[in-house]
Amino acid sequence: MIRSLSSTTFLLSMFLPSLSLAEEASTWLDKIEFSGTAKTEWSVETNEGENQKLETVIQPEFKMDVSSDTSLTAIFRLRGDAKDNFEPGSRGQNSSSPASRRLLLGDNVDAEVREFYLDMYVGDSSLRLGKQQVVWGQADGLKVLDVVNPQSYREFILDDFDDSRIPLWMLNAEITIDDDSSLQLLWMPDTTYNDLPENDATYAFTSPLLVPQAASGFNVSLKEVDKPTNLVTDSDFGARYSTFYKGWDITLNYLYHYNDNPVLYRQIAGSTVTISPKYERTHLFGGTLSNAFDDFILRTELGYSTNSYFVSHDASDLDGIEEVGELSYVIGLDYSGITDTFLSAQIFQSIITEDLANVTRDQVENTVTFLAERTFANESWKIETLFLHSLNDNDGLVRPKISHELTSDIDIWASADVFYGTSTGLYGQYGKNDRISIGFEWGF
């Protein structure tokens, strides 16, 4: 009997802590909020009827309150494309830091930690630490200040910015100054830059505005990119002051960072042209200003980069690059005075600070955009069209789309992407890539 009691006591002493741990684990699991999306999109090129894209993206999201003033968010992405046209063959990730690279699960499937950050609150101020996106600016379809995070150009600019923007590991502090003002401070040790398409990809860059053009009879040798790697000395830093004054939302922005596209320095020796890509630093100063006037919203955004780099077509130029300052701004006007309708127009202008006859772009570049949206049937149907047009190169992009909220959890859509203009233009270079797409998204 004594042995039996001893055995029972021993078993209970082993089992009860396990029960306690199980209850604690159950309590932690109860704190986790799970959601996500599953999206499939099929695109067909209208030029020859070829399938361009058959992609499925599953993106689960987990949120957990660690304490009363601390929370954890984790977002993952599993993506597969049966056609493998955007990153054909081997998919190099040389532009990404080791901590931000995707896990390649074959030629056309990858997985990644999309975002992973800890939010901590101290009074009215907050600190976000981890992999995240930071959105600056107010422009639609074009970027002036929204350059904190690099971007994937696997589908040129056709992907939503939330999907094409590449999250970075960073420290993001929001400090409340008073009821109307705050200061954001950023430290980004993540040396990840724009993900540019390879030469054999569907949306590879071919325009002379972006890529040096070798003369006939010359051989081209491409060196490995000179990429920053030091987590401390190669970090990016940013600050943004935001305030509300007499109806105006105002921000003042500063970013010390590497240009997210490498500069393609060129050397000519005999009949060989050697391209030496290298990332270069710049200071970005800027700000935004917006206000509502009845049914109108006026938006302005301005940025000045101290060092921008442009391709030179002068063969006597020793490195094939001109370094100069660049001023860019957007003025936008939104109108919502018609029931169930939204209209938005923008003018974007980029000005290089010197008149350089040898560069492949004009000193002043002008682009206009127009967006029209209308909803029907209690907002369950939506029709929209986005129009981008370069006044300098007379090329552009038209993007009509119709979408329907089939249920509260399922959206379906059909869209088109139509490029026009000559092959030398930013948009016209993709004149053979016109496509129509259908897709659906399920939120869970």
Collect all residues with Cβ–Cβ distance below 8 Å to 167 and sequence separation of at least 6.
100, 114, 115, 131, 132, 133, 149
Coil vs helix vs strand at 6: helix
Query: What is the predicted pLDDT for the residue at 414?
Result: 98
Q: If one looks up domain 31-443 in CATH, what number appears?
A: 2.40.160.100
The two tokens of residue 252 are 């003042």
Determine contact, residues 280/307, Cβ cutoff 8 Å: yes
- List per-block mean pLDDT (blocks of 10 residues) for the chain, which spans 444 residues: 48 53 62 95 96 97 95 98 88 90 92 97 95 92 93 95 96 96 98 93 91 76 90 96 97 98 89 90 97 97 95 82 95 97 98 89 95 96 98 97 97 98 95 97 97
The two tokens of residue 29 are 């699991």
Give the DSSP H/E element, type plus range, for residue 2: helix 2-30
The per-residue pLDDT for range 148-168, each reduced to its tens digit, is 999 999 999 999 999 999 999
Query: What is the predicted pLDDT for the residue at 318?
Result: 81
Query: What is the predicted pLDDT for the residue at 383?
Result: 98
Coil vs helix vs strand at 390: strand
Q: Residue 111 half-sphere exposure, CB side, CA atoms within 13 Å?
A: 6
The closest alpha carbon to 168, from 185, 143, 145, 151, belongs to 151
Query: What is the predicted pLDDT for the residue at 92?
Result: 79
Q: Which residues of 350-366 are buried (b: 16+ CB within 10 A; e: fewer)?
A: bebeeeeeebbbeeebe
H/E/C letters for each residue in 25-43?
HHHHHHCEEEEEEEEEEEE
Determine contact, residues 332/300, Cβ cutoff 8 Å: yes
Query: What is the predicted pLDDT for the residue at 21?
Result: 54
Coil vs helix vs strand at 159: coil
The two tokens of residue 384 are 């929209």
Query: What is the predicted pLDDT for the residue at 210?
Result: 85
Distance CA 1, CA 9 (A): 12
429: phi then psi, degrees, rounded to nearest 5: -60, -20
Domain chopping of the chain, boundaries: 31-443
Percent share of the chain, pLDDT over 70: 93
Query: What is the predicted pLDDT for the residue at 204?
Result: 94
The closest alpha carbon to 148, from 303, 290, 291, belongs to 303
Query: What is the predicted pLDDT for the residue at 171?
Result: 98
Distance CA 371, CA 341 (A): 11
Query: What is the predicted pLDDT for the residue at 10?
Result: 47
Number of Cβ atoms within 10 Å of the Cβ of 348: 23
Query: What is the predicted pLDDT for the residue at 6?
Result: 54
The two tokens of residue 37 are 């999306």
The closest alpha carbon to 284, from 437, 146, 90, belongs to 146
